[in-house]
C-alpha cells in the first residue's frame, strides 16, 4: 500500500518536473518566472540610446527582454557589461545601471544629467522637490537610493550638492 502511494507521488512529481522544464511549443509553462516579462526602460529626456551587453538595442522608451540583459552564453570580453544597461544621449552624461530585482519588476526610469542642454523650465513639476520634504528627508532619500544600488556614489554626491545648494 505504501509503495503504491509513493509511486503515485513520484509519478506526479516527475510529470510536474517535465511539464515545467519543457518548452511546450511557445505555450506558457506551469511556473512562469518574472524573467518572462519585458523590462521597461525610460529616460528623461527621452530618446536616449539603450545599450545592453555593449550593443545598441534601441532608444527610449523601450522594452527589453531579460535574456538580452542576462544571456546564457556571451563572449568572455563582455563580462564587464553583463547584466548592465547603459543609456547615452548627445549632450548628456552616460547613465549605467546593473539590472536588479526592482528594475526587473518595475522597470528603469533614468534621469539623465544633461547640464544646461535641457533647462529646468522644460522639465515637469515632478522634478521639483516636494515643498513638504525637509532637507534631512531629501538627503535620506539619496542615501537610500545609494544603499539600494540605484544610484552611483558620484550621482549621490551631485544630488547631495544640489539639495544643499537649494538652502
Same domain, 145 and 135: yes
Report whether the peptide linkage leading into residue 71 is cis, meaning its omega lies within 30 degrees of zero. Answer: no
> Is residue 123 a part of any domain in this protein?
no
CA distances to 14, 58, 64, 70 from 27, rounded to whole Å, are: 19, 27, 20, 22
Decide: 63 and 52 in contact? Cβ < 8 Å.
no
CB atoms within 10 A of CB 126: 7
Same domain, 45 and 106: yes
Strand order in the sheet with 62-64: 62-64, 39-44, 108-111
Q: What angle do CA 92, 95, 116 make, to 5 degrees?
A: 25
pLDDT mean over 18-40: 56
Of 19 and 104, the structure prediction assigns the larger pLDDT to 104
Residue 3 has pLDDT above 90, yes or no: no
Same domain, 90 and 51: yes
% pLDDT > 90, the chain:
20
Q: What is the pTM of this model?
A: 0.52
Same domain, 133 and 113: no
Same domain, 17 and 68: no
Of 92, 17, 78, the C-alpha closest to 49 is 92
The mean of the pLDDT values for the chain is 76
User: DSSP readout, 106-148?
Assistant: H-EEEE---TTSS-GGGS-GGGSPPTT--HHHHHHHHHHHHHT
Of 77 and 137, the structure prediction assigns the larger pLDDT to 77
> What's the domain range around 46?
34-118
Amino acid at each position: 500500500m505504501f509503495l503504491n502511494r509513493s509511486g503515485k507521488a513520484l509519478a506526479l512529481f516527475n510529470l510536474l518536473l517535465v511539464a515545467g522544464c519543457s518548452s511546450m511549443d511557445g505555450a506558457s509553462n506551469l511556473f512562469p518566472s518574472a524573467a518572462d516579462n519585458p523590462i521597461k526602460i525610460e529616460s528623461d529626456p527621452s530618446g536616449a540610446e539603450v545599450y545592453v551587453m555593449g550593443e545598441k538595442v534601441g532608444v527610449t522608451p523601450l522594452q527589453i527582454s531579460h535574456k538580452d540583459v542576462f544571456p546564457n552564453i556571451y563572449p568572455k570580453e563582455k563580462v564587464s557589461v553583463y547584466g548592465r544597461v547603459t543609456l547615452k544621449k548627445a549632450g548628456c552624461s552616460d547613465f549605467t545601471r546593473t539590472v536588479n530585482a526592482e528594475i526587473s519588476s518595475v522597470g528603469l526610469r533614468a534621469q539623465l544629467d544633461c547640464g544646461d542642454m535641457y533647462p529646468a523650465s522644460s522639465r515637469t513639476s515632478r522634478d521639483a522637490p516636494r515643498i513638504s520634504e525637509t532637507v534631512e528627508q531629501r538627503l535620506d532619500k539619496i542615501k537610500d537610493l545609494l544603499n539600494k544600488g540605484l544610484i552611483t556614489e558620484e550621482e549621490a554626491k551631485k544630488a547631495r550638492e544640489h539639495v544643499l545648494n537649494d538652502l
